[in-house]
Every structure is written in C-alpha cells, then in structure tokens.
Amino acid sequence: MTRQHKAIALISGGLDSMLAVRVIQEQGIEVEGINFFTGFCVEGHTHAIRNHHKDKEKRNNALWVAEQLGIKLHIVDVIEEYKDVLLNPKHGYGANMNPCLDCKIFMVGKAVEWVKSNHQDGFDFIITGEVIGQRPKSQLKRTMPIIARESGADDILLRPLCAKNLPETLPEREGWVDRAKLHDFHGRNRKPQIALARHYGLNDFATPAGGCCFLTDEKYSSKLVDLWQARHSRDYELDDIMLLKVGRHLRPAPHFKVIVARDAGESKFLEGYRKQYPSLYSTSHNGPMALIDGQLKHHDDVETAAAVVARFGQGRTAEQVEIELTLPDNGTQNLVVSPLASEAIPEEWYV
Amino acid sequence: MSDYQLDCQRLLCPLPVIRTQNKVKELAVGDTLCVVCTDPGTKNDIPAWARIHGHSLVSIEDKEDLIYIVVRVGA
C-alpha cells in the first residue's frame, strides 16, 4: 500500500498561502496549516482596540483561511524565540525594522521542526505561498535557495505558485506532486493569483496593504527604536510591543514617555495596564487614559505629563484641568494643571 | 458549569486561541473549557478554531465587560 504523504503549509492569512494550499490539495495531498505569532502580527489587534475599526469584522484571517480550505491550523507562540530574529538578523533589516529574510528562514525552520516531530503521521514536506519577485527582500530568486538552505528545509520546501521557476524538490522528484500542475508565477503582478483564485471560486480573501507585520511600518519601527534608546537596551517584553501599537506616544524627557489613548477603545485597553504602569486621566473633564512608560523622577515630570494628558481631553481650552495620577504601588495623587497648548508641544516629543 | 476555566483577559487574538489550543491538549474528550476573554475578536476566532479542530462550541456569553466562551473537547 502506498504511503499517504502530507504537507504542512505556512499560513499567513493572505491569498498566496491560500492558493498554495489549494494547488496541493488538488493533487490529493492532505495539508495542515501552521501560523506563527511573533507579537508583531497586525492581525486583528488594532481592529480589536480602536473605535473606528468597529465596523471591520474581527476575525483572524489565518483561521478564516484554514476554515475555507478545510484544514487544521496550528498557531504557535514564538514571541520569545523571535527576539533573536529581530535583534540579531544575519541578513539585516528591510526599509524599517523588518528582518524579512531572517524571519522567513526562522518560520520555515520552525516548520521543519514540526515536520520532524510529526513525520510518523505522514508529514513529509512544507509548502509556502512564496512567489519569486513578490517581495523586495525575502522573495527573490536569489533568496529562495537561502531560505531553503538556512532553514534546514532544503528540498522538502515546495513553493507551488512558482515551483516551475525553481529546481525540482523532493516531493516533485518522488512523484508525490506533479510538477506539471504547479505554477510559474513571478513578480509583483497579482493578476495570475487573482485569476487562480477565481478558478477555485475564492472571492473573499485578505489583501493586507503593507504586509502583515508591524515591523514593516515606519512609525511602529521608530517607536521600537525609541524604546530601545530610552532603556539603553535592545530588548522587549510582549507588553512593550503591544503598547507600541496603541495611542499617541510623546517623550518629553529621555527617562519617560506618555502614551495617550486616541479613543475610548484605546482608553479601555490602556486601563488594563494600570496595575503595571503609572496612569493619568482627567477627573474634571472627559479625556483619554494615559500611561507612563519610564520614571517620573521630578515633580516637573509629573506636571508635564499631566499637562500633556489635559491637552488631549475636552478640557484642552480650560484654564485648569484636574488630573489623577495613579502609581501602581503608591496610591493616587491629584493635580491641577493648565493644559499644554498644541503649539507648546515640541514636534520632537512625538515618537 | 464547565470542567475547566482559562483566563484570557486582556489578551488579544490570537493569544487567547493559542492558550485555548494548548489547554485543550491537556484535556480529555468530552471535557468542557470556559475561556474568559476581553477581546471581542475571540467571539469569532475561538469558535472558528474549535470548528476546524473538531471541538464544539457550547456557548458564548457577554457579561459585565467579559466574554465567556465554552468549548467541549472533541475526539
């Protein structure tokens, strides 16, 4: 009896990985999906927090894609392991703090580990939705073999959407997969993918602008670099990187930063951190919740932070605003401050 | 009343799904798990995860800013 071969697919939630799975399923191969949570994934977070995203359906696209494809999806927390990828990328960064090539090598490497530990259940190879020339750093003809080699996947890594432009892989050589039925997509043109999606009757799919990772975002990257500079350490915890996704960040002094919510959704989200961070909000006017990251060393720091928070509330034009400062271990203080005028906040305070 | 409870308050998706997935691995078929969440995305994501892995959704309840999602472990 011929052994049934299975594939594990890297599922991002976008169209390409969805199509790659469908192409392989068409050949009668059972596929399961794997998705990695680095902490920097855009997926749903801002939609979950901010008010003006309320109309967007709050769904995880990787799960949604898995359900459309009828496959299991294993979501893996790689937050701790990913730190080394971000902090020490062998192949460097892209336009921002995005270590795309190292990231792909890491994720394929994790999939290799998964195949090894599930080989007894028939898993033999890995598929991805990569397309040569699709991405400026990680999806180039010269980087494809680097990913295969440095991840340890070698010839068990099959890219069904561009396989015909690449050397034969093990599943093709062994005849588990018919190379003739694979594709030769290349470049940034999305028309072949859209046509293939139509062929499969797929009409609803995510097309995230700018990718699925906050590290490709210029503003997010600058906040991350600012965090490292302020702490004199290139390290982070999950709470740090979550808070970088939320609010306005203003740094009046090197030793502290004020994170001010932009709407009620963000205020509610920041409230959840009040046992960990000093927090401020106005008791005399409606206004945002704010957190302090760093230390309020001097009374002037407290006054400045309170005046910043007052500026973003409904008391911004009032003579005086009452602000309550809560320290996680040290009770509350009540302050009365004059809100900073918009022009009194130096541009360089905005991180 | 569920057999087990999992606190996922303040966690944003997919973390509540990952915690649920990992907890369910420790449970037996037929056990029920109540996941307590604050991210509204969990109301879609945990049921979707349960469906694709053969578990069943028992209930979803909003109560005092918290979301209670009960899943029964499938085979």
Chain A contact for B74, CB < 8 A?
no
Active site residue B13: yes
Residue among B8, B13, B34, B37 flagged as catalytic: B13
pTM, 2 dp = 0.91
CATH of the domain at B11: 3.30.110.40
Flag the least confident range among A57-71, A80-94, A109-123, A194-208: A194-208
DSSP A12: -
Q: Which residues of A touch B10 (CB under 8 A)?
A: 272
DSSP A131: -
Q: How confident is the model at residue A211 (pLDDT cuts 50, 70, 90)?
A: low
> Given an 8 Å threshold on Cβ–Cβ distance, is B13 in contact with A45?
yes
Q: What is the pLDDT of residues A92-146, one digit of tens each?
A: 999 999 999 999 999 999 999 999 999 888 899 999 999 998 876 778 888 999 9
User: Region A10-23: what's the mean pLDDT?
Assistant: 94
pLDDT computed for residue A212 by the predictor: 74
pLDDT above 90 covers what percent of chain A?
Answer: 81
pLDDT exceeds 60 at position A208: no
Chain A contact for B43, CB < 8 A?
yes
Q: Enter the ipTM.
A: 0.93
Chain B contact for A242, CB < 8 A?
yes
| The total number of structural domains that make up chain B | 1
Q: Report phi then psi at A168, rounded to 5.
A: -60, 140
DSSP secondary structure string for all residues of A188-206: S--HHHHHHHHHTT----B
- CA–CA distance, A198 with A201 (Å, rounded to integer): 5
Q: What is the pLDDT of residues A225-258, one digit of tens each?
A: 999 999 999 999 999 999 999 999 999 999 999 9
pLDDT computed for residue A204 by the predictor: 79
pLDDT computed for residue A3 by the predictor: 74
Do the Cβ atoms of A285 and A317 come closer than 8 Å? Answer: no
* Residue A321 C-alpha, separation from nearest chain B C-alpha, in angstroms: 29
pLDDT computed for residue A120 by the predictor: 87
Q: Report phi then psi at B3, rounded to 5.
A: -70, -35
Chain B contact for A274, CB < 8 A?
no
* Residue A343 C-alpha, separation from nearest chain B C-alpha, in angstroms: 35
Q: What is the pLDDT of residues B7-64, one digit of tens each?
A: 999 898 899 999 999 999 999 999 999 999 998 889 999 999 999 999 999 999 999 9
pLDDT exceeds 90 at position A338: yes
Enumerate the domain spans of chain A.
Answer: 6-214, 246-349
* Cα three-residue angle B14-B20-B22, rounded to 5 degrees: 105
- CA–CA distance, A177 with A27 (Å, rounded to integer): 7
- Measure CA A213 to chain center: 3
Topology at the third CATH level for domain A6-214: Rossmann fold (3.40.50)
pLDDT above 70 covers what percent of chain A?
Answer: 93
Alpha carbon separation from B37 to A54, A153, A281, B11, B69 (Å, rounded): 18, 37, 25, 7, 8
Task: Tell me which residue range forms the domain holding B55.
Answer: 4-72
Task: Look up residue A31 and give its two tokens.
Answer: 């596929």
Q: Which residues of B touch A47 (CB under 8 A)?
A: 41
pLDDT exceeds 70 at position A45: no
- Residue (of B47, B49, B72, B69) closest to B60 by Cα position: B69
* Residue A2 C-alpha, separation from nearest chain B C-alpha, in angstroms: 26
Chain B contact for A77, CB < 8 A?
yes
pLDDT exceeds 70 at position A337: yes
Q: How confident is the model at residue A48 (pLDDT cuts 50, 70, 90)?
A: low
Q: Which residues of B touch A58 (CB under 8 A)?
A: 13, 39-41, 43-45
User: Region A161-182: what's the mean pLDDT?
Assistant: 97
pLDDT computed for residue A335 by the predictor: 96
Q: Which residues of A touch B41 (CB under 8 A)?
A: 44, 47-48, 58-60
pLDDT computed for residue A209 by the predictor: 45
Chain B contact for A237, CB < 8 A?
no
> Given an 8 Å threshold on Cβ–Cβ distance, is A48 in contact with B18?
no
Alpha carbon separation from A208 to A44, A69, A122, A143, A195 (Å, rounded): 11, 19, 33, 23, 18
Task: Look up residue A299 and give its two tokens.
Answer: 């009374």
